Amino acid sequence: MEGTVRSTEASASPEQVFAVAVDLPAYPEWATGVSAVEVLATDESGRPTRARFEVDGYIKKISYELEYEYDEPHRMSWRAVPGSDIKDMEGYYEFKPRDEGGTDIVYALRVEPAFVVPGFLRRQAEKQIVQAALRGLRRRADEMAEAGE
């Protein structure tokens, strides 16, 4: 997958980080730019398999739907349903246990908007989205781990 790939470390366990990542309705509380999430379908375990997002884009408000797959607690991946704002988007989170405790979090994202954006701006936006999401996910998971949730 071409796109942006970044990683960070969390003190929370892979299971705790996965729990935060899979709680899509809570994203507006910690994910920069996400203003609303509506879960449209879930699997037998209650995990979202399809959700609609509304985000504050750099140019305009953007809406899109994602379909999810899971390898709990190690990975969650998604792909966009093509729409008026997003032509194609795919990404994943990976949660790898660290020998000394905690989790290595990897986030990969590739976005192809349905509107014209110069390539360098698209790549810059991807990088900013990935960095902000990693920071927010790590912070939220570590706070929940400290609180014993």
Cα separation, 80 vs 82, whole angstroms: 6
Prior bond of 73 cis (ω within 30°): yes
Cα separation, 132 vs 1, whole angstroms: 20
Over residues 104-122, the pLDDT tens digits come to 999 999 999 888 888 888 8
Q: Report pLDDT for 68.
A: 98
Q: Which residue has the tokens 């509304």?
A: 54
**Residue 56 belongs to a domain with what CATH number?**
3.30.530.20
Q: Work out the percent of the chain whose per-residue pLDDT is above 90.
A: 76
Cβ neighbours of 29 (radius 10 Å): 10
pTM equals 0.91
Number of structural domains (the chain) is 1
- Tell me what the mean pLDDT of segment 113-132 comes to: 86
